[in-house]
Chains A and B, each alone.
Chain A
């Protein structure tokens, strides 16, 4: 006799609804047969038998809600007495609530989850926000989609191409709904040929169109980096200003959870190295939306770095206005007097979280969100350093030749006399990202590491 247990659709799932039984008592099932359908607020999944035998009892009635993961839902009479958690299988049927495409969102380690939970807490209002405007909570994913939709409505030359952007609605569901609204002429599924389609998009941009190229992740943009740098970034210069290239290369960048060395890296420093490119890396939904709109309108090639682990997070976005955030302006996210924390993208949330911890110990950190890596708003960073006399940079990428290295150099060049401690850098360990959970955690920047770096520069 074998117990069939309620399976988890994701490691964070604790309970779900047993929506439907596909078998009844007495049915013979084989491994792989669909036996039930379970639902969570995010997804519907089919449950497969993983053993063969005859259904002896169904212990949970159809429609029962809040069935705990790993509770016994049915019994199978057959050989072997092992306990068999049923295997969840994505349902083929249409599911009105798309599950988060991102594993990282659902999963993540405790530190990341904690950072995520409070990351929106101490965001200061954008100084450019008009009085009286209504703010609504929008996920980063939807803010990006809204930005593309608004710009595509505004300008018929704007179109989106990339892998799975149309019919599949985006590998991470960022382009959800765009195919329906704009049709296949403007929302284009490509084959898996990054070098080729990036080149085609750059060529189309040279001819005056305004492509948005989605890379499923920036890891795959490495196939296309030649066109991004050699073709898109340099042609204006080489042509003596004749050939313009208004194009946006966008997609998730940086760490994702447990996907190993080839699928998890931060390209901020790589692209920020290149003259001719603008490089944007927003943290919250308002910036994601406003900066993507600015990027699409910008007549230059823009590399727009998003973050998979932020896609599902909600932040406030101004409603009902043409919200465009200027490129090249940093934003002070938290005012402080004792140390300047400089970060971009997801690490901004880590810094805000670290700042709260530090405040408990009487250290007031100022958090500067770079937002744009190139052209960098070094003025805002230096002004802050002049006030706090200390700087800690935080990035997900490797340290050597990194964004923090650049800021440290600028701090020394422009604020040498103001520094009370050498600049400190927090970044990924200098190794390819390991898969093992414990090693991955050790290799990534953490709130504790930021706190430790601040203590080092404040001699506490």
Chain B
């Protein structure tokens, strides 16, 4: 990984960011930064390895990598309280990892093995964890927005103070059900944070080719839902914005929109030749806005750069990912009898339980 040393946080402009961007405040610690560094690096190395396993034929179908967007899952996670739910699209490996799922289980789901989090039955796009209140892993663009609003409905119904995080892309932001959900969430005061991961592209469609209003944080205006634009490559900015959003929701004010400006480094999925953007565009982002480099720079600026500590994290992450890959390779395929399980929770006449 390139270790950027020359930059300062000042030159890291979120593209198109306006005054609404809340810059990361000074209140951070070495330990906090090292924690984020580790979490983001784990996602990145995990995803790189997933890409490799795909190339080796161990992972099939679609496989959408989260590389470049790590600061969003990590920053939002930092603002969450235990019990707060989250739900996202098919680009879900990073979210699984930040909510504490065992990387082995996540990787084994990618290879479709019995050790996977869905016992191999879901695959890359469909991962879930009730333990971590992670409600998946959804393949239909936009579906998770209504579902996430429904999680918040349950929170309001029970009055348990929990907040639901619904993550979706700039492409998904155009689906009709998003706006149906916005309306009900505001009318019913539901504690949901709409986290728009704006990586500028929906498959091959640049956002300005599909959207009449490209500032997605404004999409709540006619529903009276507050929104803010956030530098999604700055983990501290993400965390602070998510904290504001959580406070808004927990105070009973209803939903909140965060538009997190980010970028995906890889193709949409493994089979996307990505001809709709230039190599230079991708390189520019990697060089100037990389979320992991950003944390390293902050560590350095504060005089906290500790080669030893970073090296130790690198080595630890490498080991975790290697072990996950090995587990995912060797975990057996599901038992054939699994074909018929989980169709219903209780046996129904005529259907094998």
Point out residues on A near B: beta carbons under 8 Å: 7-12, 30-33, 43, 48, 50, 52, 80, 82, 84-95, 98-99, 101-103, 107, 163-164, 167-168, 171, 189-193, 195-196, 219-220, 222-223, 256-263, 429-432, 434-439, 442-443
Contacts and interface: CB of A to CB of B under 8 A. Distances in A.
Tell me whether chain A's interface is mostly helix, strand or loop, or mixed: loop
A435 B171 contact: no
Contacts of A258: 60-61, 112, 123
B142 interface: yes
Interface stretch (B71-79, B183-191, B252-260, B271-279): B271-279
SS class, residues of chain B in contact with chain A: loop
Interface stretch (B95-103, B199-207, B217-225): B199-207
The 3 closest A-B pairs by CB, nearest first: A11-B57, A258-B60, A435-B123
Interface string B48-73: 11011001110011100001000000
Given A87-B51, A261-B126, A434-B120, A192 B202 contact: yes
A322 B56 CA distance: 45
29 contacts: A7-B52, A11-B56, A30-B1, A30-B2, A31-B44, A32-B67, A32-B286, A85-B56, A93-B275, A103-B60, A163-B203, A163-B205, A167-B209, A168-B276, A192-B171, A192-B175, A220-B141, A258-B112, A260-B126, A261-B126, A262-B126, A431-B339, A434-B334, A435-B112, A436-B120, A436-B334, A437-B112, A438-B333, A439-B336
A192 B286 contact: no
B48 A164 contact: no
A219 B351 CA distance: 25
Given A95-B273, A258-B112, A263-B139, A8 B57 contact: yes
Interface in B310-353: 318, 322, 333-334, 336, 338-340, 343, 351
B273 to A, nearest CB: 4
Contacts of A195: 176
Given A7-B55, A439-B338, A92 B121 contact: no
A223 B140 contact: yes
Given A8-B56, A263-B62, A435-B121, 20 more contacts: A12-B57, A30-B1, A30-B2, A32-B48, A43-B273, A167-B205, A168-B204, A191-B210, A191-B211, A192-B142, A192-B171, A193-B175, A259-B123, A260-B124, A260-B125, A429-B339, A436-B113, A439-B112, A439-B339, A442-B339
A19 to B, nearest CB: 15
Range of interface residues on chain B? 35 or more
A87 B55 contact: yes
Contact of B339 (A89, A95, A434): A434
B282 A436 contact: no
Given A436-B333, A437-B112, A193 B123 contact: no
Residue from the set A90, A94, A102, A163 with the largest chain B CB neighbour count within 10 Å: A90
Interface string B272-306: 11111111001000100000000000000000000
A47 to B, nearest CB: 10
A86 B48 CA distance: 10
A423 B113 CA distance: 37
A99 B271 contact: yes
B236 interface: no
A442 B1 contact: no
Contacts of A438: 333-334, 336
A145 B341 CA distance: 42
Q: Considering residues B48, B123, B277, B286, which has the most beta carbons from chain A within 10 angstroms of its beta carbon?
A: B123
A164 B112 contact: no
A217 B165 CA distance: 28
Residue from A88, A94, A437 having most chain B Cβ neighbours under 10 A: A437
Given A168-B205, A192-B175, A439-B336, A90 B274 contact: yes
A219 B126 contact: no
Contacts of A80: 318
Contacts of B340: 429, 431
A435 B265 CA distance: 26
B232 interface: no
A164 B351 CA distance: 40
B7 interface: no
Contacts of B3: 30
The listed residue with most B CB atoms (<10 A of its CB), out of A7, A82, A94, is A7
B335 to A, nearest CB: 9
A263 B272 CA distance: 17
Contact of B140 (A86, A93, A262): A262
Contacts of B60: 11, 103, 107, 257-258, 435, 437
A95 B205 CA distance: 18
A434 to B, nearest CB: 5
A262 B124 CA distance: 12
